[in-house]
Structure 1
Amino acid sequence: MKIKGYMKVLSALAISSILLAACSDDTEKSSTKEKKGKAVEQVDASKFPTKTTNQAEPIKGGHLTYGLVSDTPFEGILNKVFYQGDPDNQVISFFDEDLLDTDENYVFTNDGAASYEISDDHKTVTLTIKDNVNWQDGKPVTGADLEYAYLVMGSKDYKGVRYDEQMALIEGMEEYHAGKADSISGIKVDGKKIIFTFKKGNPSVTTGLWTYPLHKEYLKDVPIADLESSDKIRKNPIGFGPFKVKKIVQGEAVEFEANKDYYRGAPKLDSVTLKVVNPSVVVKSLENGDLDVAKVLAEQYDQAKELDNVELLGKVELAYSYIGFNFGQYDKEKEENVMDENPKFKDKRLRQAMAYAINNEEVGEKMFKGLRFPANSVITPNFKYNNKDLKAYEYNPEKAKKLLDEAGFVDTNNDGIREDADGKKFKINFASMSGSDVSEPLARYYIQQWEQVGIDVELLDGRLHEFNSFYDLLKKDNDDVDMYQAAWGVASDPDPSGLWSRSAEFNYTRWVNDKNDELLAKGISEEAFDDQFRIDTYNEWQELIHDEVPVIPTLFRYELAGVNDRVTGYDFLAGRQYQWHNVGVTK
């Protein structure tokens, strides 16, 4: 299943499927685990290397081919202020980046395009952009460019999803957003310097402050309402990253050329070709040398590990798969999620029963070679904030049946399918997306397990939906979708409000809850600068989600990349950016 990515604003919205977990640099090994009397081959994923072992000097004039693994075209919204899907983010990572880098704990450093300082009262953040940081048209990147990003996202004409209560913490942002001011009083610019003043201290400014600028001089003539659809975003994007966009075949391929004036130093490659590659042919394309770098799906591991010319790298991904329930709609006028008065899934015992009815341990072991494992939470295990004491919903069909009985979902006509608490026919439309050979068997497997406890679940339209059309159903709150299966690539900031707050457009379940509001606010309060306070707050929040089950977290995952052995300098744990300027080829 492909991942939907999201960008952080302060803490609410950062990148798609980025970084890491502590993986050793040893070669991978496999072991055999006995399960229910049957041998199931398991992968010891902790043994995957995370960097290419080729240490030779790269050749001059090198070219690399990158496979964007997808069964559908990339959408082509090539700017982080506007994009939503991970395929677009993979394109963006070659030619543009954020101003601040992060360390292995996802905390900002001063090693990137800018340095930063935070005042003693935690209310003021000052970024200073380095002198040699320029846009690819030669213009300097300035504080005004970062301010412009905030002016765009805070505008009523902005059609994206990245304005939320986190943005409103900046002094004057609410007034600007409401159209009562022409500027944001809490943002001051002085050449290469930009100063943010917040209403209160927020611990997420060290991990999730929005630092992605927009080229103001290049974009200012385009009305904000038209930016997302403009040629300057979709066909001729300009960044300040290691490569320049030379040519785009919309949705299919991108040709990049080296940005010789890149502030970290000229790239070791002269050019890169990115092309969309169907998951079914990735391994063969790596074997033939048609691709130098490409993600390898877990279900392709057995074939990929046999390739003589390819090195497999791996890491725990900042991502989780989940099953979401439909509770309502997003009210664009109010800019908040609104639950239906009588949602189909109002009884949490029904939602809990559906969680107990599915066997995610078996899914991870048999469908994904052990490269996915049951998720206990919607905060990934990469973070110390993951509540390790919280157990994932275990497969327990008898408990599921008992909960359904208690909730009044009983089979009144002895056909094996339960009616609802009012004795009426109860059917659930389940939406799921395409993406790999496992996608449909997985959806069918879950449907079968729900049927075994008496719940009638049908695949929406009788088929899987491709990535873009699937998320279009969710964004438009299509009434035909009762429940859906999806995945999030989460941000380097642990604050989950970008997906879970009352105002978050990415909150596709449209679930709202007063206790949820309270705990999310506590997690970014001044008290949360005390790390134990923040851990305790997020532990309580995860217990709330586990009990209320607005979504069923299903699987955490290991991410694999197949890299041709001629490639040097590729680091799967490179940080917030892939740092493509370090990558070269040796033959």
Structure 2
Amino acid sequence: MKKKWFKGVATAIALTMALTACGSPSATPDKKEETAKSTSSIEEKYPGLIENEGEAVDGGTLKVGLVSDSPFKGIFNGYLYTDNSDNVIMKYTMNGAFPIDADFKLIADSDETPIKLSIDKEAKTVNYTINPKFKWSNGDPVTTADIVKSYEIVANQQYILTAKSARYDSDMKVIEGIEDYNEGKADKISGLEVIDDANMKIHIKQLTPNMLWGGGFVSEFVNAKQYEGIAMDKVTESDALRKNPLSYGPYVIKDIIQGEKVIFEANPYYYKGEPKVKKVEIEIVPPSQQVAAMQAGKYDILFNAQADVFPQLEELDNIKIATRMDLYMSYLGFKQGKWDSANNKVIVDPNAKMNDVNLKKAMAYAIDNNALGEKFYNGLRFNAVSPIPPVFSTLHDPQMTGYEYDLEKAKSLLEEAGYKDVNGDGVREGKDGKEFKINFAMMSGSEIQEPLSQYYMQQWKEIGLDVELVDGRLLDFNIFYDRLTADDPGIDAFMAAFGLASDPNPSGLYSSEAPFNLSRYTSQTLDDALKALGTEEAMDPEKMPALYHNFEKVFFDEAPSIPQANRVEFLPVNKRVKMYTFSHDDTSGFDWSKVELTAAEPIAAK
């Protein structure tokens, strides 16, 4: 349920110089030195609330840019989507079934939320009561039939195979009867008990702490009537999902230019009240145009603005910048097995090229993520020491330091593992003494992606590894993930990222039953550590931290993948936008019913 620089040609020169500095051991700051800007100072300088003064104008269109070098896929449901651009488009316009608090937990037992929920520990049920104000954009109330239909789609094997969906995972199997339904042994999910149109109970096998964050449950719904008669293997092609999905959020889709632009109009039935801004346009912006577009006043808000242009955006006098700690982690992945779609589980290949813990750790120690965060991301990224994001600070083991840059340690690990330079050419052979080459996949995107990829390969060459880009180039976002999910044998290692969930439990990313476990690595020890995070014992706030500390230790010891960087997220907002809050939670966060515009068009820079 869950950023001063040069223009034009000088930009490429500056990036090349930064790459050289990062790659040179003598130019890299001592690891005891503070290499990244203080994230707290950035957040203090740029708070999350944008209050801009001025009298609101009637009407007006909020114009939103979404930075991406690829078109959006157009799966417009807040739980069925697989592409982050689709998620951003829907997040503030169509979603909102379960508001969250400052700790990312679901707000329970409140008559003000769309769905009032409670957990009955004795009966092992999660109880829903739908607020009568919670309505679809056609005026119909949201009903329990909509909730049931959403579960039936997500857990249906035909839908899973055609949509390549990863939503049905081990967390969801806590619901009674959902496995029988998934396996075709039942035509209904027995654990979904409908009392009436507004009340239902979800029967669960055991209490798990992630339920506090909505883990294991569908967080956004479809309209059952709209999906009536649509075959499960046709859902992703349906007009109900792609062209005219009903909405219970503040806005509803009016028009779509596929892959490029979505036009929304205000939902008059929004439970918080119809938004004051009646129209929103969201369109894809190529990375090369993001600064010029904001400078010219083309957009009011720029989502996914890239850290490499942060200094340029700071200089614009027509915008304000809001920040927050992002639920994000980039990581270095290694293909170590395959996904068994028939049985929904990871199958590890013990003979996989990358299935050597010292090899994986050596590649990690060769990368200076703090230096990269400073030089390429203007201090908005910093070394990730754990797969648990920094916003969950109480769950971190303070003794964890992650992989601090250390070339000598990297070389020592390779020697210990048997990767030696047999013929003296500076390149290590495999443990069998034969040529050893690693095929590395990385996405295209902003203009720093190319020098970044060269930095990684340069660093790995420094420790004696022969690493080349897959197909000799950076890959388009969609092609990159299509090949990863298909376990393309031409990929050995890859650099990717997670948009992390508000639930801190990472089972959906690393367990043996997680389709998003793209490294295809599992072990009994790792699975046991993950399962412990989902036990009733872990619901005890005094015991929960120790269980997370154990998971972190196992993760570090086995290195299924390598955390690379966390980041501070920033949002450029035009000065005509009034009362926009960029915090994560829904108690003090974004509320469309309060947002106003103080000019007919976005303000251009002077």
Q: State whether TM-score is above 0.5.
A: yes
- 1:554 aligned to 557, 564, 567, which one? 564
Alignment of structure 1 residues 322-361 onto 2, 5 Å: 322-361=331-370
**Maintained 8 Å contact 2:529/2:554:** no
Change in Cα spacing, 1:41 to 1:536, as seen in structure 2 (3 Å) is: closer
Partner of 2:201: 195
Letter of the structure 1 residue corresponding to residue 581 of structure 2: D
- C-alpha deviation, 1:223, in angstroms: 0.7
Aligned counterparts of 1:121 and 1:130: Cα–Cα separation in 2: 25
Aligned counterparts of 2:122 and 2:388: Cα–Cα separation in 1: 28
**Maintained 8 Å contact 1:420/1:426:** yes
Report Cα offsets for 1:374-411 as digits up to 9, x if no partner: 00011100012233321020111111111111111000
What SS does structure 1 have at the residue aligned with 2:362? Answer: helix
- 1:271 aligned to 269, 276, 279, which one? 279
Aligned counterparts of 2:583 and 2:124: Cα–Cα separation in 1: 31
- C-alpha deviation, 1:210, in angstroms: 2.5
Report Cα offsets for 1:243-269 as digits up to 9, x if no partner: 111110000001111112211101010
Partner of 2:19: none
**Does 2:208 correspond to 1:206?**
no
Aligned counterparts of 1:565 and 1:41: Cα–Cα separation in 2: 29
- 1:108 aligned to 106, 109, 112, which one? 106
Partner of 1:362: 371
- C-alpha deviation, 1:545, in angstroms: 1.1
Partner of 1:496: 506
State the TM-score, normalized to the length of structure 2: 0.89
Alignment of structure 1 residues 29-178 onto 2, 5 Å: 36=29, 42=37, 44-47=41-44, 48-109=46-107, 110=110, 111-121=112-122, 123-159=124-160, 160-178=165-183
What SS does structure 2 have at the residue aligned with 1:211? Answer: coil
Partner of 2:235: 227
- C-alpha deviation, 1:115, in angstroms: 1.0
Partner of 2:12: none
Letter of the structure 2 residue corresponding to residue 290 of structure 1: K
Aligned counterparts of 2:532 and 2:518: Cα–Cα separation in 1: 23
Aligned counterparts of 1:382 and 1:481: Cα–Cα separation in 2: 32
- C-alpha deviation, 1:542, in angstroms: 1.0
Alignment of structure 1 residues 164-563 onto 2, 5 Å: 164-189=169-194, 190-208=196-214, 209-295=217-303, 296-383=305-392, 384-563=394-573
- C-alpha deviation, 1:581, in angstroms: 3.4
Change in Cα spacing, 1:36 to 1:292, as seen in structure 2 (3 Å) is: same
Aligned counterparts of 2:334 and 2:35: Cα–Cα separation in 1: 32
Aligned counterparts of 1:456 and 1:360: Cα–Cα separation in 2: 21
What SS does structure 2 have at the residue aligned with 1:272? Answer: strand
User: Could you say what the CA RMSD is over the residues aligned between the two structures, in angstroms?
Assistant: 1.8
Aligned counterparts of 1:409 and 1:136: Cα–Cα separation in 2: 61
- C-alpha deviation, 1:483, in angstroms: 0.4
Give unmatched runs, 5+ long, in structure 2. 3-26, 600-606
- C-alpha deviation, 1:93, in angstroms: 2.1
What SS does structure 2 have at the residue aligned with 1:232? Answer: helix
- C-alpha deviation, 1:578, in angstroms: 4.7
Aligned counterparts of 1:397 and 1:221: Cα–Cα separation in 2: 60
Partner of 1:30: none
What SS does structure 1 have at the residue aligned with 2:572? Answer: strand
Partner of 1:5: none
What SS does structure 2 have at the residue aligned with 1:167? Answer: helix
Change in Cα spacing, 1:222 to 1:95, as seen in structure 2 (3 Å) is: farther
Letter of the structure 1 residue corresponding to residue 568 of structure 2: Y
Aligned counterparts of 1:270 and 1:291: Cα–Cα separation in 2: 16
Change in Cα spacing, 1:440 to 1:387, as seen in structure 2 (3 Å) is: farther
**Maintained 8 Å contact 1:99/1:129:** no
Report Cα offsets for 1:65-103 as digits up to 9, x if no partner: 000110110111111332112100011124421421000
Aligned counterparts of 2:34 and 2:512: Cα–Cα separation in 1: 46
Letter of the structure 1 residue corresponding to residue 188 of structure 2: S
State the TM-score, normalized to the length of structure 1: 0.92
**Maintained 8 Å contact 1:66/1:274:** yes
Partner of 1:586: 598
Give unmatched runs, 5+ long, in structure 1. 1-13, 16-33
